[in-house]
A = this chain, B = another copy of it.
Amino acid sequence: MKTGVIGLGAMGAGMALNLHRHGHLHRLYNRTAFRAEGLAAETGVARAMSMEELAADCELILISVSADQDVIDVVERIAPSVTADTIVVDTSTVSSETARKTAAILARSKADFLDAPVSGGVEGAAAGSLAMMVGGSAAVFARAHETLTAIAARIEHIGPTGSGQACKAVNQIMVAGINQAVTDALAFGACLGLNMDKVIEVIARGAAANWFLDHRGKTMLAGDYEKGFKVKLHHKDLLICTEMARNVNLPLPIIEATLRQYRRLMAEGQGEKDISALYRLKKTQE
């Protein structure tokens, strides 16, 4: 399917490259032009001069932006240019409500929509091995599926529009808790003076095994929080989660504590760092 990508950050760029490897990438657009220019040069795929131009020329439009309002802005812009044959797939992490609004805006042009947030980090985006959780109609999911296999190793249709984002909220709560678990445990081991390289090697093979320890354990011990998932973005996601949790009367004290710690990191100018920067807060509590 002729696919266009709007939003070429670390996640969007990785997905665009994998779509290109599978012969699907047809157009590129990014608000900041130089990112699109770089990828256009690398792939030979034409950069679109506007979102509207991209939308008019693609069968599948994949969006990868940061915040709820960004998604709404993009679909308001492209809605007049899409047709009944267009599928818009939003891989951003936003609220279920934003997903439903987005679908409604596109429905005016009779275009189809899938909310399809992903997990697996920038590594997963680069490798094409993301996990993708999809909300929308089963028929639209079936039409888009083959193209999406270029970017995700696991694609699950969760339910109607918005349920992909609800599933991602489950994921983001789990990631926050695991961040707490790993940073608490490694700060504890470091305070005891253990050889932490050896500790990580062995506990990563037992019942504490997890993706975050494998991918962020050694970097956090080294004080390297550059690559990964930004504190300010996880903070935004967790605000969505706590609002959803309040609606079902579920207390999430660990998530509330995580939000407070992330705000402390952001106040210290660490909002652009990977979420494993939580380790620094704990280590300096000593």
Please report A residues at the B interface, Cβ cutoff 8 Å: 118-121, 124, 130-133, 153-159, 163, 166-167, 169-171, 173-178, 180-182, 184-189, 191-192, 194-195, 198-199, 201-213, 215, 229, 241, 244-245, 248-255, 257, 282, 285-286
Contact = CB atoms under 8 A, between A and B. Distances in A.
A184 B255 contact: yes
A249 B157 CA distance: 47
A215 B207 CA distance: 9
Contact of A177 (B167, B178, B191): B178
Main SS at interface, chain A: helix
A174 to B, nearest CB: 4
Contacts of A202: 119, 131-133, 154-156, 158, 167
B208 A209 contact: no
A213 B170 contact: no
Contact of A189 (B170, B191, B253, B254): B170
A55 B64 CA distance: 65
A81 to B, nearest CB: 31
A252 B191 CA distance: 13
A175 B285 contact: no
A245 B262 CA distance: 23
Nearest to A250: B191
Given A159-B195, A188-B241, A154 B229 contact: no
Stoichiometry, as copies per complex, reads 2
A259 B253 CA distance: 15
B210 A194 contact: no
Nearest to A283: B250
B171 A208 contact: yes
A176 B208 CA distance: 9
Interchain residue pairs A-B with the least CB separation, the first 7: A177-B181, A119-B206, A131-B206, A210-B210, A174-B185, A156-B202, A131-B205
Contacts of A181: 173-178, 180-181, 254
Given A153-B205, A166-B194, 18 more contacts: A119-B206, A120-B206, A131-B202, A131-B204, A156-B199, A169-B188, A170-B194, A171-B208, A174-B203, A176-B181, A177-B182, A177-B184, A180-B254, A191-B245, A210-B210, A250-B285, A253-B257, A254-B257
A119 B194 CA distance: 18
B188 A252 contact: yes
Nearest to A159: B195
Contacts of A178: 177-178, 181, 208, 210
Nearest to A123: B207
A253 B282 CA distance: 12
